[in-house]
Amino acid sequence: NRYIWLSRHGESQYNLEGKIGGDAALSERGIKYSHKLVEIVDKYIPNHDRLEVWTSTLKRTQQTAKYLPFPKKQWKALDELDAGSCDGLTYDEIAEKFPEDFKARDDNKFEYRYPGGESYRDVITRLEPIIMALENQENVLVITHQAVLRCIYAYFMNVHQEESPWMSIPLHTLIRLEIKAYGTEVTRIKADI
């Protein structure tokens, strides 16, 4: 059987402030996770001597991968859903400054495209090369962002793509997908930090 390993970046400064988007650094707790991840990989990923680590081009995923002693690859296609004019705002600020957008997103989170940014559907489209590469590879740990992981997760779990925005992808948890002939089994390994 084949495994795919997924993790969100560690908690970032923006996560603490409730802001979306941006290119913030990790918080203290996020840095703890980046250290803990080394132990977790060592303990839970078999054949990790052949592991490859994929990140986005954003600081918080690279900082999370920092202490992992494996070959790394950065993909622009793994960057977080682009929130356009709402980048750097909290959800409260979005509701106040762009009330119509806030409502439109609530009505159809999958299709809603941020002004000058992306929708979940857009993210799925740009993830196609990543998903193709993951279909052909083993021993990959993908460290990326919540919205992106929701889409990758839904794909491998055979969940309808329209449901991607509601997949639960918690912080500080390594997700193991075991790809079997008749479906995917998921194991979540929570970091104790």
Rounded Cα gap, residues 64 and 104, in angstroms: 33
Of 147, 152, 154, 174, the residue at the interface with ligand G3H (CB under 6 A) is 147
- Residues annotated as binding site for substrate? 8-15, 60
Rounded Cα gap, residues 114 and 136, in angstroms: 32
DSSP state of 80: -
DSSP state of 116: T
Of 9, 19, 126, 145, the residue at the interface with ligand G3H (CB under 6 A) is 145
Of 24, 53, 81, 124, the residue at the interface with ligand G3H (CB under 6 A) is 81
Closest contact distance (angstroms) between CB of 10 and ligand G3H is 14
Closest contact distance (angstroms) between CB of 98 and ligand G3H is 13
Q: Where are the beta strands (DSSP E) in 21-101?
A: 52-55, 72-74
80 binds ligand G3H (CB under 6 A): yes
68 binds ligand G3H (CB under 6 A): no
Q: Where are the beta strands (DSSP E) in the chain?
A: 2-8, 52-55, 72-74, 140-144, 173-180, 183-190
Closest contact distance (angstroms) between CB of 66 and ligand G3H is 21
Specify the residue for token string 């740990």.
Answer: 141
Catalytically active residues, by annotation: 9, 80
- The candidate with the shortest Cα–Cα distance to 30, out of 53, 54, 69, 63, is 63
24 binds ligand G3H (CB under 6 A): no
Stretch that binds ligand G3H, among 53-61, 66-74, 78-86, 183-191 (CB under 6 A): 78-86
74 bridge partner residues: 55
Contacts to ligand G3H by CB under 6 A: 20, 80-81, 83, 145-147, 165
